[in-house]
Amino acid sequence: MIKKGKKLHEGKAKILYAGQEKGTAIQHFKDNATAYNNQKKSIIEGKGILNNRISEHILFNLNQIGIETHLIKRINMREQLVKLVEIIPIEFIVRNISTGSLTKRLGIEDGTVLDKPLIEFCYKNDNLGDPLVAREHIYAFGWANDVELDWITKQCLRINDYMQGMFKGIGIKLVDFKIEFGRFNENGKKKILLADEISPDTCRLWDATSDKKLDKDRFRKDLGNLFEAYQEVARRLNILHEETNIKPVQFGKLRSIKNRK
């Protein structure tokens, strides 16, 4: 069993613990759901389990096509062993269809299919509400240099290409998503790895025929059945094993079995 070290960071949906080996960490997926910069909060039982499994699947597959990620392996229902990276404080948003903050900010009609993917940069800072920034801000404040940013931008497009195809194959439109990258020193060689998570918490996923939302917008917009939607994504990805197929505990039934004695 891999032992957890001290807590390094607690975010809105995950906790990061130090790993046993230097340069590693354990990423724990919580059931907390938050939106609108933490103004809306709830607990969705089992969400963390599904996100752990879905994110593992996507990052593993990206790794198979040569995109290096922080993922080492999933270690249990809620946790994965990862490489401990220094997170670049930028959220990279990739969009294929206009929705969410883009429609609000620029008045673009919701659902407009973009001619080519649009990449946006947001400064990772909850107190400021993760504001949109330009490349020039990123250079001016030393968050990343031009070589890093060019490389990351190319990775974003490769990741988008792969994920769009993967989801298309299972009848899902990849509307947009957010990814993060981190710096890692591997045997003296500096690398930039895809980090954090890719899950229905960080992507917008619409059913290809009905446009039904299968992502965190169900929570943001009070549409209900968020867990079922995430389960549907896992089911279509063919990764919904027994352990992620959580059913509510039937207390009544348990009690009646006990009473039979």
Angstrom distance (rounded) from CA 126 to CA 7: 20
Q: Which two structure tokens, joined as six digits, stand for 3?
A: 């032992």
Listed ranges 52-60, 146-154, 196-204, 229-237: which one lies at the site for ligand UDP (CB under 6 A): 196-204
Among 17, 121, 177, 227, binds ligand UDP (CB under 6 A): 177
Distance of closest approach, residue 197 Cβ to ligand UDP, in angstroms? 9
Should residue 78 be labelled a site residue for ligand UDP when binding is judged by CB under 6 A? no
**Percentage helix, strand, coil for the chain under 3-state DSSP, each rounded to 5:** 30, 30, 35
Binding mask 216-235 for ligand UDP (x = CB under 6 A): x-------------------
Distance of closest approach, residue 124 Cβ to ligand UDP, in angstroms? 8
Angstrom distance (rounded) from CA 73 to CA 59: 10
Question: According to CB under 6 A, which residues from 236 to 255 bind ligand UDP?
Answer: none
Phi (first) and psi of residue 172, to 5 degrees: -130, 135
Binding mask 90-129 for ligand UDP (x = CB under 6 A): -x-x------xxx---------------------------
Angstrom distance (rounded) from CA 207 to CA 173: 6
Distance of closest approach, residue 242 Cβ to ligand UDP, in angstroms? 28
Q: How many residues bind ligand UDP (CB under 6 A)?
A: 13
Q: Between residues 28 and 178, which has the closer beta carbon with respect to ligand UDP?
A: 178
**Is there a contact between 54 and 233 (Cβ–Cβ < 8 Å)?**
yes
Distance of closest approach, residue 128 Cβ to ligand UDP, in angstroms? 12
Angstrom distance (rounded) from CA 85 to CA 71: 11
Among 176, 180, 182, 198, binds ligand UDP (CB under 6 A): 176
Should residue 202 be labelled a site residue for ligand UDP when binding is judged by CB under 6 A? yes
Binding mask 126-165 for ligand UDP (x = CB under 6 A): ----x-----------------------------------
User: How far is CA 119 from each of CA 116, 149, 202, rounded to the nearest angstrom?
Assistant: 10, 11, 15
Should residue 167 be labelled a site residue for ligand UDP when binding is judged by CB under 6 A? no
| CB crowding 215-224: b at 16 or more within 10 Å, else e | bbbbbbeeee
- In the three-class reduction of DSSP (H, G, I as helix; E, B as strand; rest coil), residue 160 is classed as helix
Give the H or E element holding residue 8: strand 7-10
Cα-based angle 44, 216, 90 (whole degrees, multiple of 5): 115
Among 83, 204, 213, 218, binds ligand UDP (CB under 6 A): 204
For residue 182, what are the contacts with CB-CB under 8 A and spacing of at least 6?
70, 85, 86, 87, 88, 192, 193, 195
Listed ranges 40-48, 65-73, 175-183, 236-244: which one lies at the site for ligand UDP (CB under 6 A): 175-183
**Interface residue list for ligand UDP (CB under 6 A):** 91, 93, 100-102, 130, 176-178, 202-204, 216
